[in-house]
Amino acid sequence: MKKILFTVFFLNIFCVNFFCYHKSRGADDFSDFDIHYKLGNEYNISGMIDDAILEYEKAIKINSNSAKAYNNLGVAYGKKNFIDNEILSYTKAISLDTGYKEAYFNLGIAYGAKGMLDEEIKAYLKVIELEPDNFEAYYNLGHAYREKKQYSESIDAYKKVVALSPLFVDAHFNLGVSYGRKGLLNMEILQYKRVLELDADNAQAHFNLAIVYGEKEMFAEQVREYRVAIAINPAYAKAYKNLESLYRSKGMIKEADSELAKYYDLVTH
């Protein structure tokens, strides 16, 4: 999950966070480098991150030209939230192997964690240059463009994702969000409906549909979608709160008070 926050209008945006390990191809006669590198990978996977960092550093002392060791060291630093060291590690990996798409991808994520959106975008574009059908890179690119309020570019990126991976529910959802940010409400609705074709019990899609219907002043449809969201997820506190506000705006005080009571019951227990 990355960066986009919950607001009244939009839900949490899902982001792919693919930290790419590069495993050794292996050989029967392991060198000292292989031993430390493979140990680093095992520690990294097992969550023993300090030990992983130490092993990668030992491997790099033996072979300072190993792009894969620097890449995986970056992954370990990222897990410790040492973002500056993470970026330096990926940058070093790329300097050693300019076609290392996993390192570019990971570098994009690290730049995103620091809010360096221009650099993040450049990293994902490099991944796409190296692998034009990399839908994960397009997906994260869509998020980065949206954070820069470049909604047309965000839409284009998500459209590429759904063309490459039509069953990717989160891509359709986020495409809908970007359409909404650009004010293309009918297109936004179509994407949430596509989400529901793929995942009928997606309460978030129903919630966002309710918001869009509210923008279009379609009261009955808005209420219906909040109700469906709540039926799928009875603990959906925000849906109760939005229903309360909606009813109150219509002068439906009894209904508003009922929804508010349900909301408070959820958030105070």
Please report the sign of the dihedral spanned by the C-alpha atoms of residue 234, residue 237, residue 242, residue 245: positive
Question: For residues 250 and 219, is the Cβ–Cβ distance under 8 A?
Answer: yes
- End-to-end CA distance of the chain, in Å? 26
* pLDDT > 90? residue 24: no
**What contacts 232, CB < 8 A, 6 or more positions away?**
201, 202, 203, 206
Q: Once rounded to an integer, what is the mean pLDDT over residues 75-88?
A: 98
Question: For residues 244 and 256, is the Cβ–Cβ distance under 8 A?
Answer: yes
Question: For residues 181 and 146, is the Cβ–Cβ distance under 8 A?
Answer: yes
- pLDDT tens digits, one per residue of 197-230: 999 999 999 999 999 999 999 999 999 999 999 9
**What contacts 166, CB < 8 A, 6 or more positions away?**
none
Q: Quote the mean pLDDT of the chain.
A: 91
CA-wise closest residue to 6 among 231, 248, 246, 242: 242
- pLDDT tens digits, one per residue of 108-157: 999 999 999 999 999 999 999 999 999 999 999 999 999 999 999 999 99
* pLDDT > 90? residue 57: yes
pTM here is 0.86
DSSP state of 5: P
Tokens 């792919």 map to which residue? 16
SS3 state of residue 150 = coil
* pLDDT > 90? residue 8: no
CA-wise closest residue to 196 among 187, 205, 185, 207: 205
What span, in angstroms and rounded, lies between the C-alpha atoms of 105 and 110? 9
Q: How confident is the model at residue 30 (pLDDT cuts 50, 70, 90)?
A: low
**What contacts 121, CB < 8 A, 6 or more positions away?**
108, 141, 144, 145, 148
131: how many CB neighbours lie within 10 A of its CB? Answer: 16
What span, in angstroms and rounded, lies between the C-alpha atoms of 14 and 64? 36
- pLDDT tens digits, one per residue of 163-205: 999 999 999 999 999 999 999 999 999 999 999 999 999 999 9
Instruction: Give pLDDT, residue 21.
Output: 53
SS3 state of residue 21 = coil
Widest CA span of the chain, in angstroms?
78
